[in-house]
């Protein structure tokens, strides 16, 4: 967990030092950001881009790496082989997430204020159920939708995003989930 936080912080610090390598006034279409909540569950570092080069708006994709913390249960036997009883151990472990999805950005070409609608899947490194009420079925994949306000400067720079990310749990139930992110567009 410390490695992920250190790597994410290092990448964001590195992004602040990057100067845009495009002519002044040209639209930026690539975006690196860290996000609390959302499809990465607790924290994720993400890359977002449009399918058309040098476009800020329209159809695009996102992919990231994140982590979460889950409770796992393990059934065990206690006692000698001829007189044993069944019990379970419950423990908390970190798991990694890989959020990926498609999104569409709405807005005006020369305005930093945009709105994102998206959908995708988050792949989990452990088979589990994310939410307490989602214990009916555990799995390796959860779904998500995104409804986000994004402030991304037209010529690149510091970005901000906040919104609502409903998560589709492993049993198919829908859970409301907030998200907030900071990053750099180039």
Round to whole Å and give the CA distance between 117 and 59. 10
For residue 64, what are its two tokens? 């990231």
- The reported pTM is 0.75
pLDDT in tens, 140-185: 888 999 999 999 888 888 999 999 999 988 777 788 889 999 999 9
pLDDT of residue 33: 95
pLDDT in tens, 124-144: 888 776 665 555 666 788 899
CA-angle at 69, arms to 46 and 117, nearest 5°: 35
183: three-class secondary structure by DSSP: strand
Q: 104-107: long-range contacts (C-beta < 8 A, 24 or more apart)? A: 104/58, 104/59, 104/60, 105/50, 105/56, 105/57, 105/58, 105/60, 105/150, 106/57, 107/56, 107/57
| Residue 49, in any domain of the structure | yes
Q: What percent of the chain has pLDDT over 90?
A: 40
| Residue 89, in any domain of the structure | no
Provide the residue range defining the domain that includes 48.
Answer: 2-67+96-129+138-185
| Residue 164, in any domain of the structure | yes
Domain count, the chain: 1
Q: If pLDDT is split at 50, 70 and 90, which confidence band does 90 have?
A: confident
State mean pLDDT over 1-17.
55
| Residue 124, in any domain of the structure | yes
CATH classification at residue 27: 2.40.160
| Residue 76, in any domain of the structure | no
């Amino acid at each position: 967990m410390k490695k992920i936080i250190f790597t994410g912080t290092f990448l964001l610090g590195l992004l602040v030092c990057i100067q845009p390598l495009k002519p002044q006034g040209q639209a930026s279409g690539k975006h690196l950001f860290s996000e609390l909540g959302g499809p990465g569950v607790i924290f994720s570092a993400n890359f977002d881009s449009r399918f058309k080069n040098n476009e800020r708006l329209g159809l695009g994709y996102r992919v990231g790496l994140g982590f979460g913390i889950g409770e796992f249960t393990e059934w065990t036997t206690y006692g000698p082989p001829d007189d044993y009883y069944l019990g379970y151990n419950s423990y908390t472990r970190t798991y990694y997430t890989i959020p990926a999805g498609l999104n569409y950005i709405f807005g005006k070409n020369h305005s930093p204020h945009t709105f994102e609608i998206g959908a995708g899947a988050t792949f989990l490194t452990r088979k589990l159920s994310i939410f307490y009420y989602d214990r009916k079925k555990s799995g390796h994949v959860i779904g998500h939708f995104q409804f986000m306000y994004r402030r991304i400067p037209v010529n690149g720079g510091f970005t901000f995003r906040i919104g609502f990310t409903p998560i589709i749990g492993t049993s198919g139930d829908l859970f409301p989930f907030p998200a907030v992110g900071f990053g750099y567009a180039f």
